[in-house]
């Protein structure tokens, strides 16, 4: 049981600096990872945004006519993002949203959702997967990136199967250093 609890443990705000390093941005480049999927004017969701490593790049890619919802369960992570965007043009593009343990509590219809190193932390995966499906527009895409150290190949395969059972299909996507990745598309 302890192993399962550790896998579902949310990265604490005190470790936010470890998530936003120059090395990580080099090895897991937000621009390289996101540019093929995010276009100007899109509505996107950064699920488990943490300190905003990918949120800021998403906002740059959607531009002034798009929008980004940066969602996290921890108020402290959202405060870090707020400090980064305060008094910048990105402040008008990014909406900060605190989720609950039971629900995303969102009513948006996104063109694209990023779930970067977050699904393994969620205890009620089945409910979350259904919510993510409902948050996407028909034809919308969900990019899932999970750490190899926390998610086995078999577990990742099960994640993909669960999403496919909801009406997603797999699309090719780029590899991400030390990660398991899949790009899923909601049926139209």
Residue 61 clears pLDDT 90, i.e. is over it: yes
In 6-147 the beta strands, taken as DSSP E runs, fall at: 43-47, 67-72, 94-98, 110-116, 136-147
Query: Percentage of the chain with pLDDT > 70?
Result: 86
The answer to whether position 36 is within a domain reads yes
> How confident is the model over 68-104, as pLDDT tens digits?
999 999 999 999 999 999 999 999 999 999 999 889 9
What's 62's domain CATH number?
3.40.50.150
The answer to whether position 20 is within a domain reads no
Structural domain boundaries, residue 161: 2-8+28-186
- Please state, in angstroms and rounded to a whole number, the distance separating the CA atoms of residues 179 and 187: 25
The answer to whether position 80 is within a domain reads yes
The answer to whether position 45 is within a domain reads yes
The pTM for the full model equals 0.89
The answer to whether position 49 is within a domain reads yes
Residue 33 clears pLDDT 70, i.e. is over it: yes
Residue 2 clears pLDDT 60, i.e. is over it: no
Q: Per the structure, how many domains does the chain have?
A: 1
The answer to whether position 94 is within a domain reads yes
- Please state, in angstroms and rounded to a whole number, the distance separating the CA atoms of residues 52 and 57: 9
Q: What angle do CA 99, 123, 54 make, to 5 degrees?
A: 50
The answer to whether position 170 is within a domain reads yes
The answer to whether position 65 is within a domain reads yes
| Mean model confidence pLDDT for the chain | 89
- Beta carbons within 10 angstroms of residue 22's beta carbon: 7
């Amino acid at each position: 049981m302890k192993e399962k609890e550790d896998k579902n443990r949310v990265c604490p705000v005190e470790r936010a600096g470890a998530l936003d390093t120059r090395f990580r941005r080099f090895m897991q480049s937000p621009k390289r990872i996101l540019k093929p999927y995010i276009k100007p004017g899109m509505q996107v969701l950064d699920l488990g945004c943490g300190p905003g490593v990918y949120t800021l790049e998403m906002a740059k890619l959607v531009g002034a006519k798009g929008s980004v919802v940066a969602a996290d369960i921890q108020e402290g992570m959202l405060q870090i993002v707020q400090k980064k965007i305060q008094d910048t043009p990105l402040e008008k593009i990014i909406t900060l949203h605190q989720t609950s343990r039971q629900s995303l509590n969102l009513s948006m219809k996104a063109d694209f959702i990023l779930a970067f190193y977050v699904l393994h932390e969620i205890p009620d995966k089945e409910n979350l997967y259904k919510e993510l499906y409902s948050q996407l527009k028909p034809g919308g895409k969900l990019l899932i990136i999970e750490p190899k150290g926390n998610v086995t190949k078999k577990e990742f395969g099960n994640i993909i199967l669960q999403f496919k059972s909801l009406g997603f299909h797999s699309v090719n996507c780029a590899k991400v250093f030390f990660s398991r990745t899949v790009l899923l598309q909601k049926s139209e």
